[in-house]
């Protein structure tokens, strides 16, 4: 059931890995060096923000937002994410190339990609990046995030089990923790929709299994 509307959601699942990959971006507030308000008194957190900003003038800004780009396979739930500095078309296209390489390394040939209607996904660059790899691009209907629900659900899991699961003393520390979370998610975390198994169990393709 969709919690905001109370409507029953008709769920679907593709038959094989790579048939559809959901792609999305989650905006996430940065953490100043020394910690933010989740672990420090608000006055100290504010001082940390100011000190971090002053220390990094002329460099990469830490006060602001990070953008978590994510790709998740519809059938297996195998997931790939990166913390990047923006959501521009060049960034989204480059992310997809690395995500596609990740899936290829796991024996998954991506056939379709589903995104929302963000400007980076409407760009010619993103379309050309997918087309060059022989991938079909699908977009959700406006104001229907449920269509990309597997990516939306992974975003919530990322917040609960990585971004906010424990206090971090810096943005770099949280970013570095993402790799360990993704390994656990893909290889060890049980999924009720997968019969209690982790995503990797649906990717290991015995000869001819998905022919």
Q: Tens of pLDDT along the chain (211 residues)?
A: 555 666 555 556 667 999 999 999 999 988 875 444 455 445 544 544 555 555 555 555 446 889 999 999 999 999 999 999 999 999 999 999 999 999 999 999 999 999 999 999 999 999 999 999 999 999 987 766 556 778 988 999 999 999 998 888 888 999 999 999 999 999 999 888 788 899 999 886 543 444 3
Distance CA 179, CA 202 (A): 20
Coil vs helix vs strand at 166 = coil
Half-sphere CA count of 89, side-chain side, radius 13 A: 13
Distance CA 211, CA 205 (A): 10
Residue among 98, 75, 100 at smallest CA distance from 20: 75
**Lookup: tokens for 136:** 């079909």
Distance CA 20, CA 56 (A): 41
- 91's CB contacts (< 8 A; 6+ apart) are 67, 69, 84, 85, 120
**What pLDDT, on a 0 to 100 scale, did the predictor assign at position 45?**
46
**What pLDDT, on a 0 to 100 scale, did the predictor assign at position 206?**
40
SS3 content of the chain, % helix, strand, coil (to 5): 40, 15, 45
Residue among 204, 184, 188 at smallest CA distance from 196: 188
Distance CA 112, CA 41 (A): 47
Distance CA 138, CA 135 (A): 10
**What pLDDT, on a 0 to 100 scale, did the predictor assign at position 211?**
39
Helices 124-132 + 89-105 axis angle, to 10: 20
**What pLDDT, on a 0 to 100 scale, did the predictor assign at position 184?**
96
DSSP 8-state code for residue 8: P
Q: Are 121 and 139 a contacting pair, CB within 8 Å?
A: yes
Distance CA 163, CA 70 (A): 14
pTM reported for the whole predicted model: 0.79
**What pLDDT, on a 0 to 100 scale, did the predictor assign at position 165?**
87
């Amino acid at each position: 059931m969709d919690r905001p509307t109370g409507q029953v959601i008709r769920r679907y699942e593709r038959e094989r890995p790579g048939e559809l990959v959901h792609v999305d971006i989650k905006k996430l507030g940065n953490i100043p060096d020394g910690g933010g308000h989740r672990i420090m008194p608000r006055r100290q957190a504010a001082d940390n923000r100011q000190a971090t900003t002053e220390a990094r003038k002329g460099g990469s800004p830490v006060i602001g937002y990070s953008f978590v780009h994510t790709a998740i396979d519809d059938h297996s739930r195998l997931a790939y994410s990166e913390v990047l500095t923006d959501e521009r078309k060049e960034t989204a296209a480059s992310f997809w190339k690395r995500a596609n390489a990740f899936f290829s390394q796991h024996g998954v040939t991506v056939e379709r990609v589903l995104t929302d209607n963000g400007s980076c996904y409407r760009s010619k660059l993103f379309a050309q990046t997918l087309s060059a790899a022989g991938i079909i691009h699908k977009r959700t209907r406006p104001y229907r995030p449920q269509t990309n629900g597997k990516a939306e659900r992974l975003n919530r899991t990322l917040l609960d089990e990585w971004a906010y699961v424990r206090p971090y003393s810096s943005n770099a520390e949280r970013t570095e923790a993402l790799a360990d979370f993704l390994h656990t998610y893909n290889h060890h975390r049980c999924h009720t929709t997968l019969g209690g198994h982790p995503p990797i169990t649906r990717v290991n393709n015995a000869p001819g299994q998905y022919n």
